[in-house]
Amino acid sequence: MSDHHRHDDDHDHAGDHHHPHGNRPLTDPELRVKALEQVLAEKGLIDPIAVDELIDTYETKVGPHNGARVVAKAWTDRDYKQRLLSNGTAAIAELGYSGIQGEDMVVVENTDTVHNVLVCTLCSCYPWPTLGLPPAWYKAAPYRSRVISDPRGVLKEFGVKLDEDVEVRVWDSTAELRYMVLPQRPAGTERMSEEELAALVTRDSMIGVAKLAPPKR
């Protein structure tokens, strides 16, 4: 994978430990968007609540469901999984998911010995067709810088604690290339259908900042 932009966890864990999400100050572009939204709302041209609901839908429901179906199929179809890992773009397109921000896709697999996490250090490149809109914290400067310098620290803040012998690989998206994580299949799901498995997959697990827990019995 020499052509792919990867950062391994072999550097000093430096920098402050500012939490990458939560009640952070808005960036200048975000402030401008909020100001424009307020003006349009005051003129009665948009409904702020409807806008927020639409954004939430694409962030957490529509997009991630596509990626979840890709993951579930890879878990249940060995041949598809091989195609997905060798040519992510083509395999994802088999399920009908392609388009802007998803033209060139690489899928990286989490295993017992390797944990992958995604970032875009230059802006906020993100695979929209499979994961929907990027969450605010993914676009924020603290996450984009710290996940490179201190990936284990950032993952711990998200609740992901890894053993020291697990290698952390940070994949940096570019304008030409997007990544998606294939999370590990949770234990106790052997008899679940592909549809049931897809319901277990979360957006954050496909970014690499969450691990999937076994289903509740």
Catalytic residue selected from 98, 124, 145, 149? 124
2 is catalytic: no
205 is catalytic: no
Among candidate residues 33, 15, 32, the one with its CA nearest the CA of residue 152: 15
Catalytic residue selected from 86, 98, 125, 145? 125
124 is catalytic: yes
Strands 114-119 and 105-109 turn out to be unpaired
Give start and end residues of each alpha helix (H) in 77-202. 78-86, 88-94, 128-131, 136-139, 141-149, 151-157, 194-198
Catalytic residue selected from 2, 86, 123, 205? 123
Please write down the HEC assignment for all residues of 156-177. HHCCCCCCCCCEEEEEECCCCC
Catalytic residue selected from 2, 86, 98, 120? 120
193 is catalytic: no
| Catalytic residue list | 120, 123-125
